[in-house]
Amino acid sequence: MIKINENYQKLQASYLFSDIAKRVAAYQEANSGQNIIKLGIGDVTRALPDACVKAFHAAVDEMASDSSFHGYGPEQGYDFLREAIAQGDFQARGANVEADEIFVSDGAKCDSANFQEIFSTDVTVAIPDPVYPVYIDTNVMAGRTGDWSEGRYAGIVYLDATKENGFIPDLPSEPVDLIYLCFPNNPTGATATKAQLKQWVDYARKNKALILFDAAYEAFVQDRSLPRSIYEVEGAREVAIEFRSFSKTAGFTGTRCAYTVVPKECMAYTESAEAVSVNTLWNRRHTTKFNSVSYPVQRAAEAVYSAEGQAQVKELVSFYLNNAKYIRGKMEALGFGCIGGENSPYTWIDGKSDSWTFFDKLLSEAGVVCTPGAGFGTCGERYIRISAFNSFENVVEAMDRIKKALA
C-alpha cells in the first residue's frame, strides 16, 4: 500500500491565490458582461524590456545552428549571468558577493520553498505574520509543524507585524533556528532600515541561526537610505541567504529567471555541532534536483545589466511605482489607513472589516480583484493588498469604481 506524506493533510484546503481564482471565476460566470480589473496577484502586465527581447532573439538564433547550439547548461547558471549579477546587483553597490555564490533558478518562489530541504526537520522556524504563504506551507509539508488551530500552526514561532510595530516584526522572545524575512515586504509593502536588519543579523549570529531573506522587490526601493540587500549589513554573510528575481523588476514572470545568493561564510551545524558549509549543501541539492534555466532566458536576463537594459528596467519600475502611488493616494482620500505604495508595488490597506468580506464587496460591487489580508495570516485579518501591476488606465478605472462602491 502506497502511503502519503501525512503532513500534507495538515495544509489548509487551498493555496490563497487558488481561492481567489475560484471566486473570480464564479463571479465571471455569473456576470459575463462585467469587465473585471485584477489588482490581486502580483503578475506584471507590461512587455519585457527591449534589450532583453533582443538578447532573447539572438540566443534563440544561436540555438538554430549546430555550431552555436547550447544543450545542458551548468546547473548553477552560466558564468556570464552570474558575473553580471555579482557586479551589477552587489559589488557596484558595495556588497561583497562573488559569482560562485550565486545560483540561477527559475523562480524565487521555488528557491525560498526548496531551501528548507537542506535543514533538519526539527529546527525551530520563525515566520512573520502576515506573510507570503509559501514560507509556511513548505515547512508544513516538511513536517516542522503541528496541526492547524485558530489560524496558526503549532510549532511555528510567529512574528507579528502590526500597525503598532510599523509592520516590522520584533525579534523572537525565544530561541529559533531558521528565520524568514522579506523586505520590501510582501504583502504589506513595509521596508526595513539597515539598523533594523542589523538587529536580526546580530540575533542570528548570537544564536547560530540562519536568515532566509526574500529581496524579490528590492528594485522598487527608491529611498537611498534603505538597504536593497541584507549584505549591506555587517556580518550578514555569515548568517543570511538572499533570494532575488527578475520577475517583477524586468517582467520575467512568464519567462522564469531568478537567483539565490549563498555566501561561503554561511554555516549550518551537525548534531555534534560541527560546522558545515551551506553553500556546499545547496550546491549539492541544486545540482541534484535542478537542470539549469535555458540559455536564451539567461542571455535575456544578462541584458538587464546592459546600459540599455538598466534604463528600461528603471522605467518599468517607475511605471508600477506611479500606479502604487496613485492607489495609495486614492485609498487614503477615502479615509483608509495605508502602508506600502512607496518603495513597493503593494499597498496594504486597513479595510476596517473582515478581509474576505471586503474582497467580496470590491469584486461584486466594483468588479475589482484585490487580495484579502487574512490569506497572509491572522495579523492580516482586517487588511487587503492592492497590487500596482496593471495599466495606469485600469488603475484609474479601478479606483473610480472602488470610490463609487464605497460611497
Distances (CA, A) of 286 to 210, 281, 290, 354: 19, 9, 5, 41
Asked if residue 296 has a cis previous peptide bond (ω within 30° of 0), the answer is no
C-alpha cell at 347: 499597498
pLDDT at 14: 64
pLDDT at 13: 62
* Cα three-residue angle 328-32-388, rounded to 5 degrees: 20
C-alpha cell at 186: 510582501
pLDDT at 21: 84
All domains in the chain, ordered by first residue: 6-47+308-406 (3.90.1150.10), 53-306 (3.40.640.10)
pLDDT at 32: 81
Assess contact for 171 and 146: CB atoms under 8 A. Answer: no
Q: Tens-of-pLDDT digits for all 407 residues of the chain?
A: 999 999 999 998 666 778 888 888 888 888 887 899 999 988 999 999 999 999 999 999 999 999 999 999 999 999 999 999 999 999 999 999 999 999 999 999 999 999 999 999 999 999 999 999 999 999 999 999 999 999 999 999 999 999 999 999 999 999 999 999 999 999 999 999 999 999 999 999 999 999 999 999 999 999 999 999 999 999 999 999 999 999 999 999 999 999 999 999 999 999 999 999 999 999 999 999 999 999 999 999 999 999 999 999 999 999 999 999 999 999 999 999 999 999 999 999 999 899 999 999 999 999 999 999 999 999 999 999 999 999 999 999 999 999 999 98
pLDDT at 346: 98
| Distance from C-alpha of 290 to C-alpha of 284, rounded to nearest angstrom | 10
| Distance from C-alpha of 266 to C-alpha of 280, rounded to nearest angstrom | 10
The DSSP secondary structure of 1-17, one letter per residue, reads -----GGGGGS-SS-HH
